[in-house]
Amino acid sequence: MANIGIDEAAFFGIVSLALFYGIFFTLFCLAVYVLLNPMGGRRMNIPFLVSTVLFFCLITLYFIVRWMRAYIAFITFSRETAGGAIAFLSEVSEWHVATSTSLWAVTGALADLMLIYRLWLVWDRSYYVVILPLIMCLGSLVTVFAVVYEVSHAELTTTYATAITNWATSFLSLGLAQNTLVTGLIVLKIWKVNVGVRGQTSSVSSLWPVMAVLLESGSLYSSSVMITLITYVTQNNGSAVMTDVVVPIIGITFMLIIVRVGLGFSKTRSNAMASNQNYPSRSGAPGIMSSRRAPPNQGSTTGLESGVDSDYPLHDIRVTLEREVIHEFGSDKEPSVLKSKEGDADSI
């Protein structure tokens, strides 16, 4: 793989950071709108609103610190130092590096915790399913802050020193494995619910749109981390570009789920629920199907016009189908990413 100069990597990294930050900022505004204006009478989801604001603060601080470092490298040092930008960018122990790495760690930890929170909600608030992801999240924090320690306390001139490489590789590998595991478990649970509901009746909408959103968002983050890991292990300076890109992508994946589910799947759910037929019953309640003896026809003495044998009187049969989808950004009940259930009540 062709390598690029450290100054070129810093330049392309800061340009890419600006581009992805713009995308993140747009999605952040949309996510705040969705969270502050819940649809269908659902209540506001405070945990996701708070985490959204925290994401904005952390990623914005990261953006400012990286641009400060780029300004010093390409403007100040280029004028005052013989080595120019390369001399400044080679100082790995410079405080901007430790600060930006710490912000990356906190942002990644927040994203991991919110993903684990989604997992906990989807699996009916089971604590057993989140034990392993929480351990992996803690391991990621330990490894990344070990990187920060090595960077800030050692006189290094390269990011590929052995003291950093081992910890950084462990951090990226744990983050990739955890994201894959948690996303897979969430999709697995939704798939099981979808199969169970669709197997009982065909009158409910599919949950594939939700699974598609989760898979796409998880794939976006996983692919960026994988590319970062590959470029770092091969000691390619392109890892500096990917490092700047990954942080806003963390926020983008989080906002995408809120925006796409809030503005897209909610409409799909509303249309699907509106398309279900409501059959009249003796009580007049919607969603209740009643099979009863047809009123007598003046021109009929056999009663066969109703489709049944009139010699055998029929009792009322009532079938109630209930399907509920609760989105992660709030409902009348406790907030949840997704709950889908079908209850059949037959009384004869």
Quote the CA–CA distance of 74 and 264 in Å, as a whole number: 43
Range name among 100-114, 134-148, 308-322 with the lowest pLDDT average? 308-322
The token pair that represents 229 in the structure block: 């890991």
Examine the pLDDT at 327 and tell me if it is beyond 50. no
Report the pLDDT value the prediction gives residue 249, as an integer from 0 to 100.
94
Quote the CA–CA distance of 182 and 180 in Å, as a whole number: 6
- In the chain, the percentage of residues whose pLDDT exceeds 90 is 22
Report the pLDDT value the prediction gives residue 236, as an integer from 0 to 100.
84
Quote the CA–CA distance of 46 and 244 in Å, as a whole number: 29
**For the chain, which domains are there?**
6-274 (1.20.1070)
Burial of 124 by CB count in 10 Å (0-12 exposed, 13-18 middle, 19+ buried)?
A: exposed
Burial of 192 by CB count in 10 Å (0-12 exposed, 13-18 middle, 19+ buried)?
A: exposed
Collapsed DSSP state (helix, strand, coil) of residue 166:
helix
The enclosing H or E element of 345 equals strand 342-347
Q: String of b and e for 142-180 (b: at least 16 CB within 10 Å)?
A: ebbbbbbebbbeeebeebbeeebbebbebbbbbbbbbbb
The token pair that represents 72 in the structure block: 């010093």
pLDDT band at 146 (very low <50, low <70, confident <90, very high): confident
Examine the pLDDT at 295 and tell me if it is beyond 90. no
Collapsed DSSP state (helix, strand, coil) of residue 319:
strand
Collapsed DSSP state (helix, strand, coil) of residue 135:
helix
pLDDT band at 17 (very low <50, low <70, confident <90, very high): very high
pTM: 0.72
Examine the pLDDT at 257 and tell me if it is beyond 80. yes
Question: Between residues 339 and 151, which one has the greater pLDDT?
Answer: 151
The token pair that represents 2 in the structure block: 């062709």
Examine the pLDDT at 322 and tell me if it is beyond 50. no
Strands 317-323 and 288-291: antiparallel
127 Cβ contact partners less than 8 Å away, ≥ 6 residues apart: 120
Among the listed residues 84, 286, 112, 77, the one whose alpha carbon sits nearest the alpha carbon of residue 183: 112
The DSSP 8-state label assigned to residue 306 in this structure reads G
